[in-house]
Chains A and B, each alone.
Chain A
Amino acid sequence: MLLAASNAASTSGADLANASAWAVYAVGATISMLGAFGVVLLRNPVHCALSLVMTIFGIALLFIDESADFLAAVQIIVYGGAIVILFLFVIMLLGVDRREPRRQDKMRGLTPVAIVVSLVALISLLVLTQVRFWATGAKASTEALNGPGENVQKLGQSIFTAYLLPFEMTSALLVIAVVAAVVLVRRGPQSGPETQRKTAARPPTSQESHRPGTPVR
């Protein structure tokens, strides 16, 4: 959209379009970065989930900036609307909304090492983007991005023709995932409301009364 707008505008409009593109990028980048740091640094897991939502929004903005409109929408709906919701459900269900005790970290030396590793990876990646460029220039197996037609239309066409097999496989994968999830959280044949009350009323077993942070035998 923006490209079309910028193309239609005159050179003076081109400057405006240019500036607006940069502005959008800046905003999107800031939101994503803030969200990312929030996920990593915040203590309360609910806060982390909300930061993740912020990141997702930022990335959706960047998608739009790169004229991947359909993907931006899907990103917000699926990621922000479903995945993060799931996360929040589980956080509530498991009661893990308390702080992580820092004193009982078994691998205390891991943090600086992790930071170093990540920095090195980052720097290598940055260098790679600039120094090495391996685009082969091969012919697009699907359509050109800038060709005629809307983004959604072109995407749909390529999914249902060129990428039909992956599409069907991922559909099956989704079904399997649902079945797997149901199976995983079953408590067995006695998972009725009476047994749940009984389990709640039972005195805590040795497993439940163990000190947190010690390995469970």
Chain B
Amino acid sequence: MTVPGPWYLVLAAVLFSVGATGLLVRRNILVMYMCIELMLNSVNLTFVTFARMLNDLGGQDSVFFVLVVAAAEVVVGLGIIVAIYRRRSGATADDVSSLKG
């Protein structure tokens, strides 16, 4: 007997919303990125929970791939961040607004 599924789902939902709030509120680009990772983690938790609830291994396979892709995404994303923010120290996300219409 273990904790019923919906508890985990609630926890994942809370983690997700916290991550979303952080993404919108923080201006340091790296912290924003970390909030994205937080959201991804909450999704992983949801997948695993449903794998357990539905007795399907596919949920865990999905988490596996999400993990791999998240890793690749972090690599490329951080490369971009380095490329953009290399010259400007102390720059925030609001400073790269040259694409404004």
Pairwise interchain contact B57-A154, C-beta atoms closer than 8 A: yes
Pairwise interchain contact A95-B17, C-beta atoms closer than 8 A: no
The CA of A36 and the CA of B69, in the complex, are separated in Å by 21
Please indicate the chain B residues that have their CB under 8 angstroms from the CB of A107 in the complex: 94
- For the complex, count residues of B whose C-beta is within 8 A of A: 80
Residue on B with the closest CB to A166? Answer: B65
Q: Which of B3, B45, B53, B56 has its CB near the most chain A CB atoms (within 10 A)? A: B3
Q: Interface of A with B (CB < 8 Å)? A: 2-3, 6, 14, 17-18, 21-22, 25, 29, 32-33, 36-37, 39-40, 45, 48-49, 52, 55-56, 59, 62-63, 65-68, 70-71, 74-75, 78-79, 82-83, 86-87, 90-91, 93-96, 98, 100, 105-107, 110-111, 113-115, 117-119, 121-122, 125-126, 129-130, 135, 137, 140-146, 151, 154-155, 158-159, 162-163, 166-167, 170, 173-174, 176-178, 180-181, 184-185, 207-208, 210, 212-217
Please indicate the chain A residues that have their CB under 8 angstroms from the CB of B74 in the complex: 83, 86-87
Please indicate the chain B residues that have their CB under 8 angstroms from the CB of A137 in the complex: 54
Instruction: Apart from A114-B24, A184-B83, list 13 A-B contacts with CB within 8 A.
Output: A17-B1, A33-B14, A37-B18, A48-B34, A94-B89, A100-B92, A114-B20, A122-B17, A125-B13, A135-B50, A151-B60, A158-B61, A213-B92
Which residues of chain B from 75 to 101 have a CB within 8 Å of any chain A CB? 75-76, 78-83, 85-92, 94-98
Pairwise interchain contact A140-B20, C-beta atoms closer than 8 A: no
Please indicate the chain A residues that have their CB under 8 angstroms from the CB of B91 in the complex: 96, 212
Which of B3, B57, B72 is in CB contact (< 8 Å) with A25? Answer: B3
The CA of A45 and the CA of B79, in the complex, are separated in Å by 18
